[in-house]
Each structure stands twice: as structure tokens, then as C-alpha cells.
Chain A
């Protein structure tokens, strides 16, 4: 882990410190883990609204003639389905079907796209894309110039409407709009990583503190709270969204991670890794990512704890926590697919003690607004 001295800070770092945030290292960045308490911030997002600094995330722009076909060989989903102003969740794979990154791609213009990538993956993604590109493709990593905010929760739309001067036409899930704020452009998208309705906003570092202050001020009367990475993690885990480095990595395929619906096998272009995934599909998976719920009042599971069936190790926890909504331990675990059926009783080893868990259907939590 890098020294604190080497960590990157977002333009909002002074605001976080002024709000009394506890800071932690994440993907090379010094980020707020919580301001008040993780439980309180989690509840704010489920019931009202929360505002997150997501400036650590990466923005890579792709343009040029042939961008559509090239992206379709590079990413698993089908970008041909995107009209301008729309986005989709997709994955970038290596030749052995393992995951380079998971990301959201937006079509900004006919031949210009935005990739929103994980903070810890920006450099590797950019290197990977550059290695694969041809002369017709232009790649720009503008991550250092952009900051980002996630406004999440049932009150998000109201907070947004009150924060911008002009009336917004309603955005649907995964849609994008470029809109002015104090004379500068903001990329506004209706998406998120919490399992609630919400928006992500990307703007120049210069504009970001003003945007943060405005959203906080307009949101406060509606119950909005600033939220850290702690709540972001419990929220995404309840919604069963994968976290790169946990549910996905260079050796885990999207089929194993349960993300098959984001793989487009029948588009005209073959995406990198498709042969391995076709084979996995035909032959069946040997391991699978499942949702586990602790039975009764057991200790919360944590990443890397062993998962057992009849005393035999069958896999391990990839992410685990106490679920503030269910008020019990929950986990995602990569296990032998013979035991992946919902209802199966398993055990997780916590400090040498077995804790009883059950395989349950994903997700743990589904919002009525999504």
C-alpha cells in the first residue's frame, strides 16, 4: 500500500476535511470512508439521498471513424445498440476471458464515446486500449482533468432539479446529457452504484467544488448527507454490483461473476476472450459467484474468508459485510458451482469458527424505483 504522502487527492479534499471525514486509501487515492457513520449514510441513500465524491474514477474518450466496430471487438456488450446520449454497462476482457475492467460506455456523438472506468484500473485500461487500437482510433485519458459526483437515493431527482438553473428534460436510466452549470459543461448521467435511483455528474476540477456545495445545500433540507466509500461499498454489495479486484479480476470471467447478460455473443464483431467464454458456456462453469446470507446472528463475512461445505473448502468470500438493510451478514463468494443453487446451506470460516450461511438469489436488495 502506498504511503499517505504519495496518495492522490481530489479537488474536494478540503471539503471532506472540513466536514470531518475519516479518510482511507483506495486505488491510490486518499478518499473519505465516512463523514458521520456508515450506517447513517447508508440509510440516507436508501431513504433520502447521499452525495459521493467519485473523482477518482477514470474518463477515457474514444473517437474516430470505425470507433463503433473497434469498440465492439474490445468490449463485450454491443455498442451498436447505443444511440447518442445513451450508455451501457460492459466489460473489457483479456485473451483468456479474464476481466481487464468493468465500465460504463456512453455514446457522446456519432463517432465519440466516453468510457467511465475504475480508479484502480485507469493506467492498465489505457495501456490495454492503446495496444489494441488502430490508426483510425483516437484515445484520450482525461481522468486527471475531470472530477465526479454521485447523487444517489430517492430524493436525487428533486435535489438535481433544485440545483440547476434551467429545467432538465427527464433522463432515463443510463442516459446522458451535457448541461451548463455556472457557464461550464457538466456531463450528467442517470446511473449509479448503490441500487437506488440517482445520477453521476462529471465536470472540470475547477467546477467540482461549486457543484458539490450546491448539491449539498439544496439536498440538506431533503435529508441528503455526504457519503463516503464505506456506505458506497455496503450499498453496492446489497445490490450485488461487482467490485473490480474482488468479484472480477484478470482471472475471473464475467460468466463466473454472473454477468452473462452483458456479453453479446451474436454481434458481428468477435470481442476479445469470446472463444474462452463460448467454451465455458458449452461445458458449464466450474465456479460461480453467489450471494450468501448469514443465518441468525453470526459474525459478518469478510473478503478471503474460506467457504465450506461439509467441512471441505469450496471457495472463498470475495466481498463481505454487515448489511445495514437486512441487519445481518452478507457476502458475495466465488465457489464450486456444484453448491451454487439458491437454498444450499454452507459455512463461512470466521476466526476458525464456522458460521452458517445460505445461498440466496441476487440481489440482497432491490429498490422499487429501479
Chain B
């Protein structure tokens, strides 16, 4: 499985990439694989302000719904509206086409609570 070194990872299997104070969030390759076929993504409304660990989006596989938690606090500034018609991007391209939302970080120091790739993969236990 693929977990790029350039990203940060949460214990709840979101990834975060930060550029100029804007974070892009999606779910990890491990998470998409565990969920299997994603058939629906519930996106947050742009403008919504969330705290770290708030349930912010949801991803539904054929069998079950899973919450996506904000890995950092901030304001949602953009969502990947293409996922409404193409939820399978989350499976096929979890780090590129399958990104879920962009967040303007209100507390950038929170990124220190996230893991780097090697620690995240070690925590998966296999």
C-alpha cells in the first residue's frame, strides 16, 4: 500500500497536506482499501468552521458509513465536488483525484499532533 512521505497522517486514517496555511484532506490508501467500494461521499459546506477531531465529512461504502474527522481546526474553504458524481475516486486515487476538502488552518501548530508516514504505517500493525 502507498503512504507518501510528503503527507501527515491521523490515527483515524485521514491524510493532510499543508501549503501556505491551507490543508488538503483525504483518506489514506489503507482506509480506502479497508472500506472497499466507496459509493457516496458527504461533503461539508464551504465556510463551515470545524475543530480538530470534529466529524466533518462522511464516506459510505456499500456496507457502511464512516465519519471523516478534521485532522486540524479551521474553516472549510473548498470541497471536491467531483466526488458527488465519482465517489470511486476515493478508491482509485486517494491522494489526488480523491481529496475531500480543503481547510484554512486556524491553529497551524496542531499539525504536530499528526504522524509522519513511517509512524502511521508502523501503527497499522501489519
A297 with B63, Cβ < 8 A, contacts A37-B36, A322-B40, A351-B42 known: no
CA–CA, A233 and B63, complex, Å: 9
**What residues of chain A lie closer than 8 Å to B42, measured between beta carbons?**
299, 350-351, 353
Cross-chain contact A300 with B60 (CB below 8 angstroms): yes
Chain A residue nearest in CB terms to B91: A37
Cross-chain contact A299 with B58 (CB below 8 angstroms): yes
Q: Within the complex, what minimum Cβ distance (angstroms) separates A226 from chain B?
A: 15
A302 with B62, Cβ < 8 A, contacts A34-B36, A322-B40 known: no
Count of residues in B whose CB is under 8 Å from the partner chain: 14
CA–CA, A350 and B63, complex, Å: 15
Partner of B65, one of A233, A234, A299: A299
Partner of A299, one of B36, B37, B40, B62: B40
B39 within 8 A of A: yes
Cross-chain contact B63 with A299 (CB below 8 angstroms): no
**What residues of chain A lie closer than 8 Å to B65, measured between beta carbons?**
299-300, 302, 351
**What residues of chain A lie closer than 8 Å to B124, measured between beta carbons?**
none
**What residues of chain A lie closer than 8 Å to B37, measured between beta carbons?**
37-39
B64 within 8 A of A: yes
Of residues 40 through 61 on chain B, the ones whose CB sits less than 8 Å from some CB of chain A are 40, 42, 58, 60-61
**What residues of chain A lie closer than 8 Å to B84, measured between beta carbons?**
297
Q: Within the complex, what minimum Cβ distance (angstroms) separates B66 from chain A?
A: 11
CA–CA, A297 and B42, complex, Å: 10
A33 within 8 A of B: yes
A85 within 8 A of B: no
**What residues of chain B lie closer than 8 Å to A234, measured between beta carbons?**
62
Cross-chain contact A302 with B64 (CB below 8 angstroms): yes
Chain B residue nearest in CB terms to A299: B40
**What residues of chain B lie closer than 8 Å to A354, measured between beta carbons?**
none
Q: Within the complex, what minimum Cβ distance (angstroms) separates B67 from chain A?
A: 8
CA–CA, A39 and B40, complex, Å: 13
A324 within 8 A of B: yes
**What residues of chain A lie closer than 8 Å to B64, measured between beta carbons?**
302
Q: Within the complex, what minimum Cβ distance (angstroms) separates B56 from chain A?
A: 11
CA–CA, A322 and B41, complex, Å: 12
**What residues of chain A lie closer than 8 Å to B39, measured between beta carbons?**
39, 300, 322
**What residues of chain A lie closer than 8 Å to B36, measured between beta carbons?**
22, 34, 37-38
**What residues of chain B lie closer than 8 Å to A34, measured between beta carbons?**
36
A163 within 8 A of B: no
A230 with B63, Cβ < 8 A, contacts A297-B84, A299-B58 known: yes
CA–CA, A247 and B74, complex, Å: 43
Chain A residue nearest in CB terms to B85: A297
Cross-chain contact B58 with A38 (CB below 8 angstroms): no
A141 within 8 A of B: no
A174 within 8 A of B: no
**What residues of chain B lie closer than 8 Å to A300, measured between beta carbons?**
39-40, 60, 65
A11 within 8 A of B: no
Cross-chain contact A33 with B63 (CB below 8 angstroms): yes
CA–CA, A177 and B109, complex, Å: 70
Q: Within the complex, what minimum Cβ distance (angstroms) separates B119 from chain A?
A: 26
Cross-chain contact A39 with B60 (CB below 8 angstroms): no
Residue picked from B40, B64, B84, most chain A C-beta under 10 Å:
B40
**What residues of chain B lie closer than 8 Å to A233, measured between beta carbons?**
63
Q: Within the complex, what minimum Cβ distance (angstroms) separates B36 from chain A?
A: 5
B63-93 vs A, Cβ < 8 Å mask (1 yes, 0 no): 1110000000000000000001100000000
**What residues of chain B lie closer than 8 Å to A120, measured between beta carbons?**
none
Q: Within the complex, what minimum Cβ distance (angstroms) separates A18 from chain B?
A: 18
A280 within 8 A of B: no
CA–CA, A22 and B62, complex, Å: 14
**What residues of chain A lie closer than 8 Å to B60, measured between beta carbons?**
299-300, 322
Chain A residue nearest in CB terms to B88: A39
5 A-B pairs with the lowest CB-CB distances in the bound complex, closest first: A322-B39, A38-B62, A39-B37, A37-B37, A299-B40
Q: List 14 A-B contacts (CB under 8 A).
A: A33-B63, A34-B36, A37-B36, A38-B36, A38-B62, A230-B62, A230-B63, A297-B40, A297-B85, A299-B60, A300-B40, A322-B39, A351-B42, A351-B58
List 10 additional A-B contacts (Cβ < 8 Å) besides A38-B36, A230-B63, A350-B42: A33-B63, A34-B36, A37-B36, A37-B37, A233-B63, A297-B40, A299-B58, A321-B62, A321-B63, A329-B40
